[in-house]
Amino acid sequence: MRRSRSSPILSAGVVVVSGPLLMFSAYLLFAGHNLPGGGFSGGLVAGVAVLLVWAAGGIDAVRRVLPIRSHVFMGAGLSLAALTGFASFVPGLAFLESGYIKLHPPLVGEIKIVSALFFDIGVYLVVVGMAVGLVKALGDEESAAEPEVVS
């Protein structure tokens, strides 16, 4: 059995906090074009959430919550950001020059979708990937070292 390292209070707290934390992170990402925030800070908040999960449950918990490898996050993010840049060529704009469309779904009112949002999502994914990658690399040894302690 794995030695329980963290306090139950911390574990419970993380469960409560991480939901709102991720919502805040998403808010920063989407609000960023007009209000303080953006993909970078949003990604950092999500990174903090990952760290909290690690603090509560160790590397195993991180792996359970996020079974995707950090490379995938970073690769997807970088590709998305670069593709957004190239997509600007289609309507004849310069690389990464942003265009936007306005949608009018019922009840919600006007929603403006800026192409830069997808670029920001790319940035977000890269930052999350960095946090996950570093936590997994640095937090790795703990659980692997365990068997010697227990047996």
User: Which parts of this chain interact with other proteins (CB under 8 A)?
Assistant: 28, 32-41, 44-45, 47-48, 51, 70-71, 74-75, 77-78, 81-82, 85, 95-100, 112, 114, 116, 119-120, 122-123, 126-127, 129-131, 133-141, 144-145
- Per-residue CA distances from 140 to 7, 104, 137, 145 (Å): 20, 48, 5, 9
Please, what is the minimum distance in Å from the beta carbon of residue 106 to other proteins?
A: 23
100 torsion bin: left (phi>0), alpha (psi -120 to 50), beta (else): beta
Shortest Cβ 132–other proteins spacing (Å): 9
SS3 8: helix
Smaller CB distance to other proteins: residue 11 or 75? 75
Q: Between 66 and 96, name the residue whose CB sits nearer to other proteins.
A: 96
Cβ atoms 90, 138 nearer than 8 A? no
* SS3 state at 111: strand
The owner of tokens 């010697």 is 148
Give min distance, CB of 34 to other proteins, in A: 4
When the beta carbons of 65 and 78 are compared against other proteins, the nearer one is 78
Choose between 12 and 137: whose C-beta lies nearer to other proteins.
137
52 three-state secondary structure: helix
